[in-house]
């Protein structure tokens, strides 16, 4: 089967990790061009050594290249602000899809394990955030068993794994993730917190998910969570539950106050996760970046597979 040609915009950590991940592991995708804005970046130099065409002229440089005509999917690993500019350029070319790894959220949120089937035919999908990719599957796992009134996630990542792009997008991270907890995870209200942990040696990504739902069968929730863990592990092998799921009854006589919902009671579920990176380009502790590139790769491959299935090829 001939591989689908793709381009990656952004020659930083995320773009370069995605480049190497596709080259090493993908049976469906082929990176034709890596796009950057700094001709001296390690990503562009590494791509050239790997035989991948490059341009330091951003999206405009990509459009000028003859390879652009054959590219079907464009991964954007730049910034929220840059993605707005990039998409305005790309949407003039019908048939090309964008997978957005920034918090721009122009297109609908995509978490491959949760909602791929519902948005697979759109031309721009957003990969939420690293915290969203890690935690929203677990919110969705609870939601498919019981109505979730509120979900709060805390993503703790190594400070060393947070580059200038991540730090510049902190506000977008919290807003985008909170929104996706509702729209994809199924919670009535959502809140997201990110912690940059300066510990040495750097610690791997840890995520805490708290949900408050209607009372439900605890074993059914536990089983749903285990099934979701296995689903995410198909494209993020280092994604694991750190301990048994914890439950606590919040009685009607002693409810908690949630802004926008008022006093709420029900079943509190606590889920603790760890995400260890694959170590393709980034260190293993950078699971927050690895889960983004892994999810983006899964999105691209599923787009190709669904198109091939629809056409019978």
pLDDT tens per residue across span 71-104: 999 999 998 889 999 999 999 999 999 999 998 8
Q: Are residues 260 and 144 in the same domain?
A: yes
Same domain, 136 and 279: yes
> What 3-state class would DSSP assign to 41?
coil
Residues in a beta bridge with 126 = 100, 109
94 Cα distance to chain centroid: 25
The label of the residue with tokens 């590494």 reads: 46
Residue entry with tokens 């999917």? 73
- Number of domains within the chain: 2
DSSP β-ladder status, 189-197 and 97-100:
unpaired
Please choose, from the candidates 126, 8, 4, the residue with its C-alpha nearest in 3D space to the C-alpha of residue 62: 8
Rounded Cα distance, 75 and 10, in Å: 9
Burial of 30 (0-12, 13-18, 19+ CB in 10 A): middle
**Using alpha carbons only, what angle is made at residue 154 by residues 153 and 155, rounded to the nearest 5 degrees?**
115
In tens, the pLDDT along 172-222 reads 889 999 999 999 999 999 999 999 999 999 999 999 999 999 999 999 999
157 and 267 assigned to the same domain: yes
d(CA 207, CA 204): 10
Facing residues of 151 across strands? 190, 211
- 201: preceding bond cis by omega (within 30 degrees): yes
Domain containing residue 244:
130-284
Residues noted as catalytic: 130
Check residue 173 and give its pLDDT.
86
Identify whether residues 209 and 245 lie together within a single domain. Answer: yes
141 and 71 together in one domain? no
We report the CATH number of the domain holding residue 94 as 3.40.50.720
Note the pLDDT of residue 311: 59
* pTM for this model (two decimals): 0.94
CA–CA gap between residue 101 and residue 80 (Å, rounded): 9
CB 285 within 8 A of CB 95: no
Domain co-membership, 71 together with 103: yes
Residues with pLDDT less than 70, the chain: 120, 165, 309-313
73 and 184 co-located in one domain:
no
| CATH label of the domain that carries residue 260 | 3.30.360.10
* 277 and 144 within one domain: yes
pLDDT at res. 167: 81
- Whether residues 9 and 100 share a domain: the answer is yes
- Classify burial at 61, counting beta carbons within 10 Å of its beta carbon; exposed 0-12, middle 13-18, buried 19 or more: middle
Instruction: Tell how strand 262-264 and strand 239-241 pair up.
Output: unpaired
Q: How far apart are CA 127 and CA 303, in angstroms?
A: 14
85 and 201 co-located in one domain = no
- pLDDT of res. 89: 97
Q: Are residues 23 and 93 in the same domain?
A: yes
């Amino acid at each position: 089967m001939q591989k689908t040609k793709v381009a990656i915009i952004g020659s930083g950590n995320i773009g370069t990790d995605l480049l190497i991940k596709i080259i090493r592991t993908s049976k469906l995708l082929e990176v034709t061009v890596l796009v950057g804005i700094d001709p001296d970046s390690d990503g562009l130099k590494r791509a050239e050594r790997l035989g991948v065409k490059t341009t330091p002229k951003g999206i405009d440089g990509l459009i000028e290249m003859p390879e652009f005509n054959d590219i079907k999917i464009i991964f954007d690993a730049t910034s929220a602000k840059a993605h707005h500019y990039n998409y305005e350029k790309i949407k003039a070319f019908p048939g090309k899809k964008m997978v957005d790894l920034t918090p721009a959220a122009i297109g609908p949120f995509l978490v491959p394990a949760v909602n791929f089937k519902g948005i697979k035919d759109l031309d721009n999908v957003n990969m939420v955030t690293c915290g969203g990719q890690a935690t929203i599957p677990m919110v969705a796992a609870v939601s498919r068993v019981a109505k979730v009134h509120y979900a709060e996630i805390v993503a703790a990542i190594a400070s060393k794994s947070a580059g200038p792009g991540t730090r510049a997008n902190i506000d977008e991270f919290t807003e985008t993730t909170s929104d996706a907890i509702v729209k994809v995870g199924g919670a009535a209200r959502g809140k997201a917190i990110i912690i940059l942990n300066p510990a040495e040696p750097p610690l791997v990504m840890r995520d805490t998910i708290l949900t408050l739902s209607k009372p439900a069968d605890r074993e059914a929730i536990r089983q749903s969570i285990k099934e979701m863990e296995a689903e995410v592990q198909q494209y993020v092998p280092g994604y694991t539950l750190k301990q048994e799921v914890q439950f606590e009854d919040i009685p009607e006589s002693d409810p908690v106050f949630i802004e926008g919902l008022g006093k709420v009671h029900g079943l509190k579920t606590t889920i603790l996760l760890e995400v260890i990176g694959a170590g393709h380009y980034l260190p293993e502790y950078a699971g927050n970046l690895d889960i983004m590139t892994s999810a983006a790769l899964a999105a691209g491959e599923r787009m190709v597979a669904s198109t091939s299935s629809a056409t019978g090829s």
